Every structure is written in structure tokens, then in C-alpha cells.
Amino acid sequence: MFLRVPLSWLNLTHDKLRLVARVLGTAFAVFLLFTELGFWNALREAPVQLIRQWNGQLVLVSQAHYTLAIKEPFPRRRLAQACAVAGVQNAFPIYLERAAALWKDTGIPESERKASQPIRVIAFDPDQMVLDNDEVNHRRSVLKAPFNVLLDRKSKEKAYGAIREGIDRELAGRIIHVAGLFTLGADFANDGNVIMSTETYAHLFGSLDWADVGVIQLAQGADIQVVYQALRQALPSDVRVFTKDEFIQREKAYWSETTPMGFIFFIGLFVGFIVGAVICSQIISTDVIEHLPQFATLKAMGYSDAFLSGVVLREALWLAALGFAPGLGLSWLLYLRLRRTIGLPMQMTTSSVLLVFFLTIVMCVASALFALRKVRTADPAEVFA
């Protein structure tokens, strides 16, 4: 009979203004969790956006290589040796540069220009389909002209000036022409990207004898594990071979486990949970204190502590459900904004939604359990004395 009385719902909703405040407080806690979790996931996903577009199944890098953000080239002749291994159809060299790739906005007066900013350069032979990117592949022919480049439309305008096709800019001390745009996105090491041919790369940065990455494409029907083992045995110890998936996981692990940003975002997620728990605790504890006379009256009428505890716990679950929806909506808008402006891969996945919903329930229930101490010790004689 007691369960038919929606006491927890009435306690939560009887004052509409306070209901809105409580829901918004819980929504803010949810928003904090989604924000920290989104940046944590973006830290892992952003650096591998380029890797996912490589048109091959295996990756060849220097033995000293540990992340794409650091330049550790290897002799290009290793790719020719890789092509001699059975099952290998092709091996494409990719050249990466950042430190020496200083981009200057020449579209404004000299007195108004900002200092040159590094931009990540991605160079390959435009006669080969090195990237699995339709936008790039449709414009590969324009890269054959010297000093023609493709500019990432997600590059930050504050760092590089106007992002549009047909403009001239200065890169590494030479004038280059933006012949087209493509979409890749920034990460936590690079604010922008530019693609060029190996010929233009050689003019700007020197020799092509040392490649930064080798993308290995297998022949049709070749067993990836067989070719993988054959390459490891055939190539010298100055290079290492990875499957594409292994290389992606390796890059993710570097950013999440060894960089200061990985530690900061992990701590941020933990702090977000603590802050959310404090907010929920304040909301539920305040509500319990306000209704303490009513709880004491119910105890005097013979209602058990278990029943009263159920009322508070159900109220906490209602609060979690009501606060989660607007928090989810605000977080989705933030994710969308960051994806569209700078290409940061803030993805609202099913697993992340379920995780935050679970954490929201944990926060609210834990807060309710803490507040239950006041309910269980409520004495009608003291309350109405």
C-alpha cells in the first residue's frame, strides 16, 4: 500500500522553481562528466585520425619512433626491401614535418601579421593513392604543380589566417598556393594540416632519402599475419613493422598514458565526478532537511526506516533521470561545436552515454545514502518539541 503513494516524486516536484534549480544542478554535474570524458576520448582519437586514412594494412617506422608528433625518420630504401617480400603489393613513403614548417599569413599587411606558426605538413607522391580520403584523392592532380598544396579546412584561423582555396601563403620561407581544401582536423599537437607532393616537400625541406612513415599495401588474398612476420624477418633492426590497428593503439596509449595531458584529463574526469557528487549531495541533503518534519511524522505513524530510505533513494533516481537529459543535450551541443570548428573528434558514443548515466546514478544514490543518516535519526519528539 505504501508504494502506491508517489511520495518521492511529490517531494521532488512540489516546488517548481526548486525543481528547476535541482535539475539544472544535476545537469551541470552531468555536463562536467561528459566534458571531461569527451576530452579524454578526443585526446586518444584525434592523433589517429590521419592513421585511419592510410591506404594500407601495415605500417613501417623507425625503431626509435614512439609517436607521430616526434620526427624519427628511417632510410627510404627499407620500403624497396619491403616490396621484395612476398605478399606486398606496394609500399608508400609518407613525409611529415612540423618544426621547420612555419606558416605565415601573407594576406594581411606586414604590420598586422602574427608570428609564424608551425603547421603539420603531410607529403606523398600524388601519383599514388596513399590516403583513403575521397576529398584528397579527387584533388591529387593539382598537387603535381610545384608549391601547390591542400589546406585542412579545420585548421585554426587564429593561428593561420583565412582558410580558403586560391590564396597564397608563406611556408618554410617560400610562397605556396592553396589549390584546394580537405578535412582532417586538429589534434593536441597540431593546430592545422597541409598536404603537398614529395616534389614540393623536397624544395621546402630537403632530401627524400629518409621517410617518416611507410604505408604497406598487401596484395589481394595475402595473409596479413604471414606478411607481417615475413617483413619482421626480412627487414633490418633499424625499422619496426606494425599492423595498422597495432599502430593506432600504440599512438592512443602514448597520448593517454605517457603525456601530461593524458594525466590531466584523467584527473579531470575524476574531479568532475567528485564535483558532481558534491552538487548532488547538496541537493538531496537540503531536500531531506526541508522535509525532516514530514519524515519524522511518518516514523511516528509507524512507517519503517526501510520505507523512508526507499523514498529518498527513489527521489535520488528521479533526480538522476531528470538531470541527465538536459546534461546530455548540452554536452551534445558542445561536442558538435568542437567537431565543426576545429575537427576535434568529440564523439557521443553509446558506451560514453551509458557510462555517464551510470556515474550519474552512482552520484545521486551515494548522495542519498549519505543523507539517509538524517532520516534514520529523525525523532518526532525532537522535531516537534
What pLDDT score was predicted for residue 364? 86
Q: Residue 307 and residue 304: Cα distance in Å, rounded?
A: 5
Q: Residue 175 and residue 169: Cα distance in Å, rounded?
A: 6
Measured between alpha carbons, how far is residue 137 from residues 149, 195, 206, 297 in Å? 13, 11, 25, 75
Average pLDDT over residues 286-298: 73
Are β-strands 148-152 and 174-182 bridged in parallel, bridged antiparallel, or unpaired?
parallel
Q: Is the pTM of this model over 0.85?
A: no
> Which tops the pLDDT comparison, 311 or 105?
105
Helix (H/G/I), strand (E/B), else coil: 141: helix
Residue 379 has pLDDT above 70, yes or no: no
What pLDDT score was predicted for residue 3? 46
Q: What is the dihedral of CA 22, 26, 31, 37, to 10 degrees?
A: 170
Residue 376 has pLDDT above 70, yes or no: no
Helix (H/G/I), strand (E/B), else coil: 213: strand
Note the helical H segments in 84-144.
134-137
Task: Please enumerate, as own/partner, the contacts of 177-180 that have beta carbons within 8 Å and a separation of 24 or more.
Answer: 177/145, 177/147, 177/148, 177/149, 178/149, 178/150, 178/151, 179/139, 179/142, 179/143, 179/145, 179/148, 179/149, 179/150, 180/139, 180/142, 180/150, 180/151
What pLDDT score was predicted for residue 301? 75
| pLDDT digit string, tens, across residues 136-184 | 999 999 999 999 999 999 998 888 988 999 999 999 999 999 999 999 9
Residue 112 has pLDDT above 70, yes or no: no
Residue 383 has pLDDT above 60, yes or no: no
What pLDDT score was predicted for residue 2? 41
Q: Residue 128 and residue 137: Cα distance in Å, rounded?
A: 9
Q: Residue 2 and residue 333: Cα distance in Å, rounded?
A: 42
Residue 305 has pLDDT above 80, yes or no: no
Res. 358 pLDDT band, cuts 50 70 90? very high
C-alpha cell at 314: 527513489
C-alpha cell at 195: 598536404
Residue 4 has pLDDT above 60, yes or no: no
Q: Residue 11 and residue 315: Cα distance in Å, rounded?
A: 8
| pLDDT digit string, tens, across residues 231-263 | 999 999 999 999 999 999 999 999 988 888 888
Kindly tell me the burial class for residue 260, based on how many C-beta atoms sit within 10 Å of its own C-beta (0-12, 13-18, 19 or more).
exposed
C-alpha cell at 37: 570524458
Reduced to 3 DSSP states, what percent helix, strand and coil does the chain have, rounded to the nearest 5? 55, 15, 30
Q: How far is CA 278 from the centre of its chain?
A: 26
Q: What is the dihedral of CA 348, 351, 352, 355, to 10 degrees?
A: 150
Cβ-based neighbours of 101, under 8 Å, separated by 6 or more: 118, 119, 120, 121, 171, 172, 194, 204, 205
Res. 1 pLDDT band, cuts 50 70 90? very low
Residue 5 has pLDDT above 50, yes or no: no
Res. 15 pLDDT band, cuts 50 70 90? confident
| pLDDT digit string, tens, across residues 117-141 | 999 999 999 999 999 999 999 999 9
Q: Residue 65 and residue 44: Cα distance in Å, rounded?
A: 18
What pLDDT score was predicted for residue 215? 97
Cβ-based neighbours of 214, under 8 Å, separated by 6 or more: 59, 60, 61, 74, 78, 79, 82, 91, 92, 93, 94, 239
Q: Which 8-state DSSP code applies to residue 114?
A: P
Residue 32 has pLDDT above 60, yes or no: yes
Residue 227 has pLDDT above 50, yes or no: yes
* Cβ–Cβ under 8 Å, residues 98 and 222: no
What pLDDT score was predicted for residue 285? 80
User: For the stretch 116-151, what's the b/e string if a residue is b when 16 or more beta carbons lie within 10 angstroms of its beta carbon?
Assistant: bbbbbbbbbbbeebbbebeebeebbebbeeebbbbb
Residue 342 has pLDDT above 80, yes or no: no
Mean pLDDT of the chain: 87
**For residue 319, which of 292, 288, 348, 296 has the smallest C-alpha distance?**
288
What pLDDT score was predicted for residue 135? 94
